[in-house]
A and B are shown apart, each in its own frame.
Chain A
């Protein structure tokens, strides 16, 4: 998950945040969490395509997938398992 956190920071240009400061279960899209916005959500979709060749087929799954770094990592692992 450390790599994924670093990728998120680079993709979203979160210059004042370190991978260590992002909790595995920290909510990504709330003011109490990482405070990401709708443009960040689009950038995360690009990140999945760019780094993992994963396209989200059902947009309604987005809120679940992007709830936290842990849920993103689980989704990536599941998709890679399906492809293997």
Chain B
């Protein structure tokens, strides 16, 4: 590979050998669709605009596996998925049409529960137990970390419940935002406390 350095000509001026950004976009979209259709992807994902900023939603053949906030850094989110699921990761928006539709309805206050197949492989151990429990907290209501711990029969595992919420791979869809501190303070949130406050306002019909 040493003579890769030994380039006889100047770097090709990209403006001379122009490649239309739209042509590339179209090709990339087609690749995502074809690869997903052929079952060649470990992870298909899509970026969505929401009232909480840009979101990344990812799914496997089994279901939605990850929702990421922009503040988490999408590159890191994708690398995490490549590590945990597999590196054949591509944007394939149509694979996530249904998830996108339900999220949009939720943010508009027209949906209270998600009906999506979920891939829970990122939720393991006690964290997984907590994360699987969270959807039973009703829309518009809240519960304390301690109460969740007690409900799961581990009353002293309050901190572990907090960690489970903070590492929820599917925020919004799995409503970790409904878990607060015992004194009513918000507690942390993977998307930032402002996002948590916004979601709770939305669910109290105050809109976003």
To the question of whether A and B form a pair in one complex, the answer is: no
Name B residues whose Cβ lies closer than 8 Å to a Cβ of A: none
